Amino acid sequence: MPSNAVNPDLQREREKASFNTQEFTYWWLGGKEKYEAKKKLEKLFLNDPELKDELPISYMSPKELYEHSVRKAVIIAKKLRELRADGEDDVDTYTALFGGALGSALIKEGNPMMLHFVMFVPTIMGQGTVEQQIEWLTKAWDCNILGTYAQTELGHGTFLRGLETRAEYDATTQEFVLNTPTISAYKWWPGGMGHTANHAIVVAQLYTKGVFRGLAPFIVQLRDLETHMPMQGIDVGDIGPKIGMKSVNNGYLGLKNVRVPLNNMLMKNQQVLPDGTYVAPKNSVLTYGTMMFVRVALIRDLSQTLAKASTIAMRYSAVRRQSPIDPNKPEPQIIEHTTQQLKVFPQIAKAIIFKITGEHIWNMFNNVSGELEQGNMDRLPEMHALSCCLKAITSADSAAAVEVCRLSCGGHGYMDCSNFPTIYGMTTAVCTYEGENTVMLLQTARYLVKVYAQALSGEPLVPTVQYISDYIKNREFGAFDCTLEQIVHAFQFVAANKVRIAYERMEKHRRQGHEPETAANLVGIELTQAADLHGRAFLAQTAYSGLNELIRQVSPALAAVFQTILELYLLDACLGRMGDLLRFINLTDGDVSKLELRLAECLKRLRPNAVALVDSFDVHDRVLDSALGAADGRVYERIFESVKKNPMNKEPVNKTFHQYLKPFMKANL
């Protein structure tokens, strides 16, 4: 095949499309303007030869990879500084550069300056006073200082009250004295902490006048601005190799009598006065803003990850031929195997549903943030609960989906050049950071059992949990008619039942004399299941209403594709939770058969449009970075190209032959 030719099978697939891919792409990216902005950004960053990897980074040592990544991080930051100076940076620019899209093409295993932009700057914005923002943000935006966010410790991550780092106020010098008194108090994990950042926001126990006041964030200088040597009392380094995020430079930090001025405590929500008087936050939930912001941003990001993984799997499935279905015919494209369709198509659908949900929750977050600024906290608990369970579900589902996509590519999916190892490493990390997933579900569940009690006492509920009230008023599901609307209703009905079970069992333990916390632990499994179902019911409802609204707006051809996506997503989700559905709803064997047959029919319907759909995600080849998923489908050629880069293949005989193998083989017993 000539080097610029497209694989003919892939080309044929593209010609089968029944819809206009440009129309889809514009929608996917948020409109023509955003599409053009994306292209411009890609041109600016991807055409820069300094940002290309000649040698695949997997062949580098951790130290080489770090140095290579910092070099590129600086080029990226310089360009970003220029964009900012011209007023051409916006949220989308930062999302592209530090999320899983464009940024992953530039620094595949994660930017060592990422935490500066995604946590250091937002935390100052969210928790600093106006004066503190003026002081720190200019330096931070211009990267005159580089920061990270240090909360987790070797001994504690989830249980924040267990954090041991101490900040004691010394009124005589108007300084805080920071210490990590034990090994387990060492800060552990902050991105860029190892050797990149020279500042950190350190979360510590605050003591003033000898009294413990709670946790507070402090800006601490870690390294000298000229020499980059650690400041006095600072013990800092990299925590070593990890499953993924290999160039994020996650670090550790020990503090020994490190003094910072009074003004280095971020004081928007709580204050320490010069004499050590402590002014408590008016409302402790105000600090939730940054956490919610990051979680909501992650949900949007995960749809891009799924777009990436499903593009690789889908294109490969169109190019790869294996195992005749009809023994008298040639080997088909592997996508002809129905089981292959069931592996790949639902992941394409999930990318779309997560995108719709991500946008929806992003808008909701912006509304709630606006209300919070006005002092209205009414919708904060609902928003917090949703952001927690959706973060958990979308990250867990995305990690599982990436793995299914890898499996769908057989042995080649296991090769580094497929890019699945890196995509998986980056995705599964989301299950842990920004709130460990189980703990996130438990947070949501706490809200749900409260809501259940409110519903029982007849209080009105906010829209996203209204289904619980409906259930309490009518506990019969009625006949199941297999419509999509009813599948959404079924998810809500099951979620309401799961919340009821968790509530009732917890109440029972309470009546038996257990404290609320112990009772919650005893029903932890029921609670996480209730939160999981609540999130899935929300996803189903958002998919249903979001896609139906879209269907009314787009061309009939694209509307038909969206209809199939909606059906596929809901049927796959529903059949995947059949145990739960059968437990609470009177489904017959005939109903389940109907659902199964409809799913099979959906796969068939999506088949001609599957390649066009992933093409419409418009993921740049450099972002895919996959021999299996490139737009031209030259899979085998690209696998070979990558193998040729293997430094081990540069010499015909490795020295170990003479050193070890030959003496061993020639030696007599």
CB of residue 304 to ligand FAD, shortest distance in Å: 18
Nearest distance, CB of residue 256 and ligand FAD, angstroms: 20
State yes or no: 152 annotated in a binding site: yes
Closer to ligand FAD by Cβ: residue 17 or 441? 441
| Among 104, 127, 132, 151, contact with ligand FAD (rule: CB under 6 A) | 151
Tell me which long-range contacts 43-48 makes (C-beta under 8 A, separation of at least 24). Answer: 44/79, 44/83, 45/76, 45/79, 45/97, 45/102, 45/105, 45/106, 46/102, 46/105, 46/106, 46/620, 46/622, 48/75, 48/79
> Residue 178: exposed, middle, or buried by beta-carbon count in 10 A (0-12, 13-18, 19+)?
buried
C-beta of 182 vs 366, nearer to ligand FAD: 182
Q: How many residues bind ligand FAD (CB under 6 A)?
A: 21
210 is in an annotated binding site: no
641-to-123, 384, 409, 638 alpha-carbon distances in Å: 44, 48, 18, 5
Let me know if 336 is exposed, middle or buried by CB neighbors in 10 A (0-12, 13-18, 19+).
middle
Q: 3-class DSSP state for residue 282?
A: coil
Q: Helix/strand/coil (H, E, C) string of 30-77?
A: CCHHHHHHHHHHHHHHHCCHHHCCCCCHHHCCHHHHHHHHHHHHHHHH
The residue (of 167 and 602) whose beta carbon lies closer to ligand FAD is: 167
Residues 66, 117, 149, 503: which binds ligand FAD (CB under 6 A)?
Answer: 149
Residue of 443, 127, 174, 63 lying closest to 293 (CA atoms): 127
User: Hey, which residues between 236 and 275 contact ligand FAD (CB under 6 A)?
Assistant: 245, 250
Q: Is 152 in the site for ligand FAD (CB under 6 A)?
A: yes
- What six digits make up the tokens of 52? 């290309």
* Least distance (Å) between residue 249 CB and ligand FAD: 10
Of the candidate residues 115, 236, 490, 587, the single one contacting ligand FAD (CB under 6 A)? 115
**11 vs 521, which CB is nearer to ligand FAD?**
521
Give residue for tokens 């000298």. Answer: 224
> Which of the following is catalytic: 164, 434, 526, 567?
434
Q: Residue 506 CB, nearest distance to ligand FAD (Å)?
A: 14
Residue 506 engages ligand FAD in binding (rule: CB under 6 A) = no
Per-residue binding letters, 394-433, with ligand FAD (x by CB under 6 A): -----------------------------------x--xx
Q: What is the distance between the alpha carbons of residues 12 and 336, in angstroms, rounded to a whole number?
A: 14
The Cα–Cα gap between 395 and 383 comes to 18
Q: How far is the CB of 445 from ligand FAD (least distance, A)?
A: 10
184 forms part of the interface with ligand FAD (CB under 6 A) = no
Residues paired with 324 in a beta bridge: none
> Quick one: 528 or 564, whose CB is closer to ligand FAD?
528
The angle at the Cα of 211, spanning 209 to 214, to the nearest 5 degrees, equals: 125
In the residue annotation, 651 being an active-site residue is answered as no
Nearest distance in Å: CB 623, ligand FAD:
20
Percent helix, strand, coil in the chain, to 5, is: 60, 10, 30
Residues forming the site for ligand FAD (CB under 6 A)? 115, 149-152, 156-158, 189-191, 245, 250, 429, 432-433, 436, 438-439, 442, 524
Binding residues for FAD: 152, 191
**Catalytically active residues, by annotation:** 434
